[in-house]
Structure 1
Amino acid sequence: MTAPLLISDPASGVRKLTLNRPDRANAIDGAMGDGLLVALQEAASSQIRVVLIEARGNNFCGGFDFSGIEAMSEGDLLLRFVRIEQILQALWDGPFVSIVRTHGAAFGAGADLIASCTYRLGTPTCRFRFPGYRFGIALGTRRLGCLLGEHRARSILLANATLSAPEALESGLLSHVAATAELDAKVEEIVSGLDDLDYAAITSLLRNVRQMREHADTDLVNLVRSAARPGIRERIACYRANAAVVRKR
């Protein structure tokens, strides 16, 4: 069985996590979600200085994997959403520099994952969308507002807008856009630029400039309340049906 998440250490102090469900657009299922959270927690406890996140296939991440949810209890479904919020918090609050390299589509939880990273690199064909509120899930909202500003984040979420790579760069969702080969060099540049910072200095720097730490529990509560509202499966089914109609137009 192919592992949904590949973990490697390409350089000293660097941990690489590769999303590995290309046949499912790297949508986050239970196994991938659990694997990501454990990998990030281990990085945080192992004095890893840099976490690099990439993905195989044509798209970075299609978001939450809805396959099989009809057979899941609402409690199990809620836990899946909680895991994703925990992953986003582990990235945003982690004692390491996080670098994400994205390509193709990054929707829903995949786009939220990108917004939680320190450096957000993408190719010119990237596109992003945050549709969670279309099925009533409050995920990643405060981080997006912190990154893009309240007005821009609100406008994107209300319109369920799809952002192109240039729009994502202009808004601040992406920090760098370039062809794949150039992104390789950019990753090396970022990592080498940290050589004169030891682990304690990186941790202190990130902690002292970070916003929202005091809101972590509130964000988790808001997510749980949104997912626990009765009818979550029906809302998801309605969203998926509407999305299928849009795709056929």
Structure 2
Amino acid sequence: MSDDASTVAATAQPALLVDRQGDITRLTLNRPQRGNALSAELVQAMHDAVLACQRDGTRLLLIEGAGKHFCTGFDLADLDGETDDTLLARFVRVELMLQAVYTAPFTTVARVHGRAMGAGADLAAACEQCWVAADSRFAFPGAAFGLVLGTARLAARVGPTLARQWIGAGATIDADTALATGLASRDFEADEHGKPDTALEALARQARRLDTDTQAAIHAASRADGDELARQLAALVHSAARPGLRERIRAYRAASAR
């Protein structure tokens, strides 16, 4: 196959792979050449897939990433082609996708390896459980360019004081710290990635113990209600709508590259 043909074949791959085996659905972020960064296409595909899982009998949803990383965050490859308004719309769609994961009426698991940065870390925190490989690294840098995204979900996992500390310092959190603080719930061996997993099957059996209506009711009762979710969306919109978003992101990227 020629180099041109290989490039066409790579770009023809869907941004999200969906694999359903019985009542277990596996979503694989499939942009490894971009660190599985969240393009508009990938965000929409994720949102659609999570909503489909609410209709197709899924009892356990696993989210993972292809290649070296889980998800390196919001895709800013074409920042010059964006405006403040287009960025605002994209961030709103990211939050709505994260809320769909967070409010899913079934068990959700993020299996993280490599980097989970920004919106990628928010995706892991939106899941009921987060499993980490030894090389996992998390960071929540959005506040550096004025964005409030996922703060409440992170605070619910690790406590508000630690969440503010991580966000304010732009900290990088390793796998051991994630496990010790409750950001992550379990570790897994890197060679388990993409292979049958006895721990996943055990979790699926646990999910099946309750009927679907009871499972959904327990999930709803143990999570933030609609008013709180609306407040979180409003906080994001308020932060992202402040004029100069694109330039703040540009300045953040320049500072990070030094």
Q: TM-score range by the shorter chain?
A: over 0.9
Matches within 5 A, 1:206-245: 206-245=219-258
- Does the 8 Å contact 2:134/2:190 carry over to 1? no
**2 CA distance for matches of 1:216 and 1:81?**
15
Unaligned runs of 5+ in 1: none
Q: What's 1:30 paired with?
A: 40
User: Aligned-residue CA RMSD in angstroms?
Assistant: 1.3
Unaligned runs of 5+ in 2: 1-11
Is 1:95 the counterpart of 2:95 in the alignment? no
**Deviation digits for residues 45-91 of structure 1 (CA, Å, limit 9, x no counterpart):** 33321111011000111000001121123222111101110111111
Is 1:7 the counterpart of 2:4 in the alignment? no
Secondary structure, aligned partner of 2:138: strand
Identity of aligned residues (%): 38
**Deviation digits for residues 206-229 of structure 1 (CA, Å, limit 9, x no counterpart):** 112223543111111111111111
- Does the 8 Å contact 1:115/1:147 carry over to 2? yes
Q: What's 1:200 paired with?
A: 213
**2 CA distance for matches of 1:233 and 1:73?**
6
Secondary structure, aligned partner of 2:208: coil
**2 CA distance for matches of 1:50 and 1:188?**
9
Q: What's 2:95 paired with?
A: 85
**Deviation digits for residues 103-156 of structure 1 (CA, Å, limit 9, x no counterpart):** 001000000000010111111110100000011111000111111111111111
**1 CA distance for matches of 2:238 and 2:176?**
35
User: What is the CA distance between 1:193 and its match in structure 2?
Assistant: 1.9
Paired residue type of 1:49: R
Q: What's 1:44 paired with?
A: 54
Paired residue type of 2:239: S
**1 CA distance for matches of 2:40 and 2:248?**
20
Paired residue type of 1:71: G
**1 CA distance for matches of 2:165 and 2:20?**
39
Matched pairs, number: 244
**2 CA distance for matches of 1:177 and 1:132?**
26
